């Protein structure tokens, strides 16, 4: 047990899971001292900064919470945190580690002891996770503190800053970041389709018509029996008002028209099956990405790209079984 640590809880997470981490931080911070450091996962600080970030996970927290899915430990930030967590647990015991599995399909790290108990987020949700973490903190000598006016003011200040940063999305720099997210989305879809083709599925198609400044930018993927179109529409180059990303699912083959000025589709017949729309969004880690309309969940461009390609494979499978109606 660590004596007099600076923090009760330290949170380690991937950028794509910053929303869950932020929600945990908000709940836990009402009664505990929490180390929560939202940042872009692909940016790496200098040596001194890295050492200061190791401390909370090494020996400065009663409990270390990992929000785990495949990819954690493989980014620059989480790689540093993983090493610090393992070193800290070897020195202070594995019971200070609280492992929250966000995706049951993700294989657990080989170094995690088989006797260690982990927590499935989709079974217990936010409230269950908060309660379990508080119990672990108390087991390690921590105390649940009442909310104070000062702590509430600190939380309010952090929320106001986040909302101010979200408002800046509609600035010149913000719009450039949105366009980078679009390019990242399209290129990741293309990369995954190329990976599938290299694996032996020769009939997968990916077409991209995308240049910054175009009113409409598009990525179309198809297997011949099923297709998905990802379309960005922005009427005003200097304003995100009414701008949206639309993902449309089709039965049949659809590809980009050679007449790109009209962005029409060819290779009919095809039939639209479903459509969903997304607006640009900002995560607590200040990562640009997307939010499906009608929901509050942040989705990064790489994660959305994977969803699109996975959906295409699902539609193609249903078609092969004669079940795509």
Tens digits of per-residue pLDDT, 102-154? 988 888 899 998 776 678 888 888 899 999 999 999 999 999 988 888 888 98
pLDDT, position 168: 94
User: Helices (DSSP H) in 172-227: which residue ranges?
Assistant: 172-198
**269 preceded by cis ω (within 30°)?**
yes
Q: Domain 7-147: which topology?
A: Rossmann fold (3.40.50)
pLDDT, position 262: 39
pLDDT, position 287: 83
User: Is it the case that residue 265 has pLDDT exceeding 50?
Assistant: no
First to last CA, the chain: 59
Quote the crossing angle between the two packed helices 301-320 and 172-198, to the nearest 10°.
Answer: 40
pLDDT, position 258: 33
| CA–CA gap between residue 243 and residue 215 (Å, rounded) | 9
Mean pLDDT, the chain, rounded, equals 87
Tens digits of per-residue pLDDT, 32-85? 999 998 765 444 455 555 677 888 999 999 999 999 999 999 988 899 999 999
Of 129, 109, 166, 140, the residue nearest 25 (C-alpha)? 129
| CA–CA gap between residue 107 and residue 49 (Å, rounded) | 30
178 vs 1 pLDDT, higher one:
178
Name the β-bridge partners of 277.
246
**What pTM was computed for the model?**
0.70
239 CB neighbour count, 10 Å cutoff: 11
Are the C-beta atoms of residues 210 and 217 closer than 8 Å to each other? yes
Are the C-beta atoms of residues 222 and 255 closer than 8 Å to each other? yes
Locate the domains of the chain by residue range: 7-147, 169-320
User: Helices (DSSP H) in 59-120: which residue ranges?
Assistant: 76-92
Which of the 8 DSSP states describes residue 239? B
Q: What is the percentage of the chain residues whose pLDDT exceeds 70?
A: 91
- Taking residues 311-325, what's their average pLDDT? 92
Tens digits of per-residue pLDDT, 159-209? 899 899 999 999 999 999 999 999 999 999 999 999 999 988 878 999 999
pLDDT, position 117: 66
Q: What is the percentage of the chain residues whose pLDDT exceeds 90?
A: 53
pLDDT, position 49: 59
Three-point CA angle 307, 313, 319, nearest 5°: 135
User: Is it the case that residue 266 has pLDDT exceeding 60?
Assistant: no
Are the C-beta atoms of residues 253 and 261 closer than 8 Å to each other? no
Residues 6+ apart with CB under 8 A from 118: 68, 99, 100, 101, 108, 112
**Burial of residue 183 (number of CB atoms within 10 Å: 0-12, 13-18, 19+):** middle
**Burial of residue 81 (number of CB atoms within 10 Å: 0-12, 13-18, 19+):** buried
Q: H-helix or E-strand containing 276?
A: strand 271-282
| CA–CA gap between residue 281 and residue 295 (Å, rounded) | 12
Which whole-number Å values give the CA distances from 84 to 45, 53, 80, 88, 130, in the listed order?
Answer: 16, 9, 6, 6, 23
Beta strand ranges found along 139-239 (DSSP E) = 205-209, 216-222, 226-233
- Taking residues 240-264, what's their average pLDDT? 74
- Taking residues 202-217, what's their average pLDDT? 86
């Amino acid at each position: 047990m660590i004596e007099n640590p600076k923090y009760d809880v330290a949170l380690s997470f991937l950028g794509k899971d910053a929303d869950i981490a932020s929600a945990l931080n908000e709940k836990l911070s009402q009664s505990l001292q929490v180390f929560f450091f939202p940042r872009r996962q692909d940016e790496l600080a200098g040596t001194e900064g890295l050492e200061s970030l190791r401390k909370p996970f090494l020996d400065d927290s009663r409990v270390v919470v990992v929000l785990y899915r495949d990819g954690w430990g493989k980014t620059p930030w989480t790689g540093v945190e993983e090493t610090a967590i393992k070193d800290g647990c070897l020195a202070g015991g594995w019971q200070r580690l609280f492992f929250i599995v966000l995706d049951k399909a993700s294989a657990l790290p080989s170094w995690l002891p088989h006797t260690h108990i982990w927590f499935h987020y989709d079974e217990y949700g936010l409230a269950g996770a908060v309660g379990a973490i508080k119990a672990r903190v108390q087991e390690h000598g921590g105390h649940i503190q009442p909310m104070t006016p000062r702590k509430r003011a600190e939380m309010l200040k952090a929320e106001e800053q986040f909302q101010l940063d979200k408002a800046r999305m509609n600035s010149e720099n913000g719009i450039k970041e949105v366009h980078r997210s679009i390019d990242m989305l399209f290129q990741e879809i293309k990369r995954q389709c190329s990976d599938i083709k290299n694996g032996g599925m020769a009939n997968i198609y990916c077409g991209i018509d995308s240049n910054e400044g175009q009113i409409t930018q598009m990525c179309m993927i198809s297997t011949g029996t099923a297709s998905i179109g990802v379309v960005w529409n922005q009427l005003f180059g200097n304003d995100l008002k009414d701008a949206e990303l639309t993902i449309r699912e089709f039965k049949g083959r659809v590809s980009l028209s050679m007449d790109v000025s009209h962005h029409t589709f060819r290779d009919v017949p095809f039939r639209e099956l479903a459509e969903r729309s997304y607006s640009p969004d900002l995560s607590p880690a200040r990562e640009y990405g997307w939010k499906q309309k009608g929901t509050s969940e942040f989705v990064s461009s790489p994660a959305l790209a994977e969803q699109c390609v996975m959906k295409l494979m699902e539609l193609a499978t249903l078609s092969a079984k004669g079940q795509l109606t």
